[in-house]
Every structure is written in structure tokens, then in C-alpha cells.
Amino acid sequence: MVTKIKGEEKMFNKWMAVLSKCALFKGINPEDLNIVLSCLSPKVIRYGKNEWVTVSGEKFSGLGVVLAGEVVVAKENAAGNRVIMAINSPGEMFGEMAAFSEDGAWPASVAAREACTVMFLPAGKIVGNCENACGSHRLLITNMLGIVSNKALMLTRKVEYLAIRSLRGKISTFLLEQYRRKGTDIFIMPLKRNELADFLNVSRPSLSREMGRLRDEGVIDFHRDSIKIKQVEALRNMTG
């Protein structure tokens, strides 16, 4: 059940540890962040598991910051198949690319992966003149520009995934990226199997079969969400 939390201005301290990790507030100390948030007048809303946070095409309601739980950002293609764009955890944002669009609508749908709490920030107040002349407001704008740039680069990477023709190449590329990020050959997959299939834009049965073949060939091993890369060089050779 969607629940709007009243008296948000008194709750900023409760979420300060999470908000301090958000890229939008990078470099802003807790005291100044309280002032900035008071200026922005955000809304905080709770959602139950699997409830819609936003729906593609609906009027844009503000930049979202996950305070608790996780959300799935997804888009349906022309065939009606879901393509996962991102899974966001506490401190992460969604809606950056739509925040200043003339279209004024959500470009993707966001659903609660589990019970979650989201803070919505009005985009106009982020880049507009600060009523309280907050000293940190300029830093807020600088951070926002960096976030939009990084998001554009990430979407470019998503297009590169879609351009990889072979399923094996897509899986290998994804596993190598996780290997580089984690810095170890054993890690927990950030996506569930059905979510990974949506992210790579492939069917789950095909994904499971190919993962099984890679295990049988001794390239990887896995148990539930845990993956072990046994032959890094073999994966690299499969990405082409």
C-alpha cells in the first residue's frame, strides 16, 4: 500500500546516513544537507512489494532517491517484453534523464522490488534560484550535471550490450564487468536470473541453458546467486 509520510522536514535526520551516500549530495555536510532539503521540500513515500512507484508515460513527479528497500527500473519494448534498465538500492537515484526533459513524463516504469521508501525531489528547485541562498546549492547543481553525464554513459553501455549478437558474448561481458567491479573471481550476482534475462534482453530458458553450458565447460561455476569465474581468459575470448 502506498503511504505518503507527513512531516518530512522532521525526518531528514532519520535518512541522513543514506542521503549522504547519494551522488546528488556528494560533498555536502549533514548540517548543510538539512538546509538544502528544507529548501527543496521533498516528498517521502512508502511502497509495498511489487507496487508501482512510477509508470512509463505518466506525468513526471520528481527525481527519486531510494531511502530503503530496492526498486527495479524497467522499460517495455515494442514487442511488450520488459527490459531492465537498473536495480536501485538505498542512496541511489532514478529519473535523472527525465528531470529536465520538455516531455514531462516518466520514460520508464519503476516498481518496488521489495517494500521500500522513496524521496521525490522537485527538479525545478534543484536548478532554480535558492530561496534561502544555500551555500551548498551550487554544489548540488554541479553534482546533478555529473550524474546526468554518467547516466548517459551508462545508457550507452546498455546499447553496447544490445549490440552484442551472441548470448554467450552478452553473458561473458556481464560476468567480466562484475569481476572487475568486485575485484574477485567469486561474487554474488546483483540480478536474479529472470532479471538478468530481462537486462540482457534474452529469454530466461536460453540464459539458463547457456549458463549451464559454461559451467559444464569449466569456465564458470555457480550455486544459486553465487558465481565463481574459473577461466577469466576464456570469458574474455567469448566477448568478441
pLDDT tens-digit readout, 71-130: 999 987 766 777 888 889 999 999 888 887 778 889 889 999 999 999 999 888 887 666
The mean pLDDT of the chain is 86
Backbone angles phi, psi at 195, to 5 degrees: -70, -40
Residue 178 has pLDDT above 80, yes or no: yes
Residues listed for the chain: 240
| Pick from 30, 70, 37: nearest CA to 53 | 70
In one letter, which amino acid is 6?
K
* Total-model pTM: 0.68
**DSSP helix/strand/coil, 84:** strand
Q: What is the pLDDT of residue 3?
A: 57
Query: Using an 8 Å Cβ cutoff, are 144 and 36 in contact?
Result: no
CA distances from 219 to 99, 168, 178, 190 (A): 43, 12, 15, 20
**C-alpha cell of residue 128:** 532554480
**DSSP helix/strand/coil, 131:** coil
43-64 confidence digits (pLDDT tens):
999 999 999 999 998 998 889 9
Percent of the chain with pLDDT over 90: 44
Domains present along the chain, CATH in parentheses: 3-162 (2.60.120.10), 165-238 (1.10.10.10)
